[in-house]
């Protein structure tokens, strides 16, 4: 049934807040820690329901979720990644190239399943409330669904890795995605035994998390509190 009205708002309890912030701060991009155990159907349903509960511009809900278990399809996807990754590798040089080449950037075959999260750019009709002046808000909405999925998976003990090194045309061809639908995220999901205690790329020496204070401005760009 649709909502019937308002209900009282309240802050979460201290225990509830701790759980929410823990999921946020302990979320990781998983590449090489996947276990072979299958994901239970009820767990996957809860994770997808969390993604489907995301905010969307004009309540357009532009996302769809392609669940990929088939080994042959995943082999094609992995080959598409390998081709794009070879191109990406050539964009780096020196020590950066050596480090890039040593990184494991996908778990397509190792994960229990893969999910391609897409954005249907025609969903909601020709005019969508809130999308009248920024046509890309449907893509932003789909990114919110990806984040919800990721946090719910972390709470369930399921690791998620986002594989972004693809040519979109390869994903469209392999997965039969229509031209007006954009593949926003290709995700690998599976049980994990352990996770890095911080971003893996930081642990590998690729970069580091910048201080929050450097990212916060007041009133206008560059304005300091």
pLDDT tens for 37-75 read 999 999 999 999 999 999 999 999 999 999 999 999 999
pLDDT of residue 63: 98
User: Predicted confidence band at 32 (pLDDT cuts at 50, 70, 90)?
Assistant: confident
Residue 186 lies in a domain: yes
Domain of residue 83, residue span: 29-205
pLDDT of residue 183: 98
Tokens of 138: 């449907």
For residues 1 and 127, which has the higher predicted lDDT (pLDDT)?
Answer: 127
Please give the average per-residue pLDDT across 139-157, as a whole number.
Answer: 98
pLDDT of residue 1: 66
Residue 7 lies in a domain: no
User: Predicted confidence band at 4 (pLDDT cuts at 50, 70, 90)?
Assistant: confident
For residues 4 and 5, which has the higher predicted lDDT (pLDDT)?
Answer: 5
CA-to-CA dists, residue 14 to 8, 19, 33, 34, 189, angstroms: 18, 9, 31, 32, 30
Query: Is 81's pLDDT higher than 80?
Result: yes
Residue 35 lies in a domain: yes
Residue 196 lies in a domain: yes
d(CA 185, CA 24): 19
Please give the average per-residue pLDDT across 8-32, as a whole number.
Answer: 96
pLDDT of residue 139: 98
Residue 83 lies in a domain: yes
Total number of domains in the chain: 1
Residue 18 lies in a domain: no
- Percentage of residues of the chain with pLDDT beyond 70: 100
For the chain, list the strands marked E by DSSP: 63-68, 113-120, 158-163, 181-191
For residues 7 and 171, which has the higher predicted lDDT (pLDDT)?
Answer: 171
User: Predicted confidence band at 225 (pLDDT cuts at 50, 70, 90)?
Assistant: confident
For the chain, how big is the Rg over CA atoms in Å? 19
List the CATH number of the domain containing 124: 3.40.109.10
How high does pLDDT run on average in the chain? 96
Residue 24 lies in a domain: no
Query: Is 2's pLDDT higher than 90?
Result: no
Nearest to 117 by CA among 148, 75, 76, 151: 148
């Amino acid at each position: 049934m649709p909502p019937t009205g308002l209900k009282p708002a309240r802050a979460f309890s201290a225990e509830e807040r701790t759980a929410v912030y823990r999921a946020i701060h302990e979320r990781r991009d998983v590449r090489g820690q996947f276990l072979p155990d299958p994901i239970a159907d009820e767990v996957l349903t809860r994770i997808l329901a969390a993604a489907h509960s995301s905010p969307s511009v004009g309540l357009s809900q532009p996302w769809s979720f392609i669940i990929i278990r088939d080994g042959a399809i995943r082999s094609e996807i992995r080959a598409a990644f390998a081709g794009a990754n070879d191109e990406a590798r050539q964009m780096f040089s020196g020590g950066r190239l050596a480090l890039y080449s040593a990184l494991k950037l996908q778990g397509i075959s190792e994960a229990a399943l893969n999910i391609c999260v897409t954005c249907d750019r025609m969903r909601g009709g020709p005019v969508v409330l809130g999308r009248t002046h920024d046509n890309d808000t449907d893509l932003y909405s789909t990114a919110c669904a990806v984040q919800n999925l990721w946090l719910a998976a972390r709470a369930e003990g399921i690791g998620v890795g986002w594989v972004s090194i693809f040519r979109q045309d390869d994903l469209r061809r392999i997965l039969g995605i229509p031209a007006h639908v954009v593949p926003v995220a290709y995700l690998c999901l599976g049980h994990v035994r352990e996770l890095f205690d911080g971003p893996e790329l930081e642990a590998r020496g690729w970069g580091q998390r910048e201080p929050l204070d450097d990212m916060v401005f007041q009133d206008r760009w560059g304005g300091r509190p």
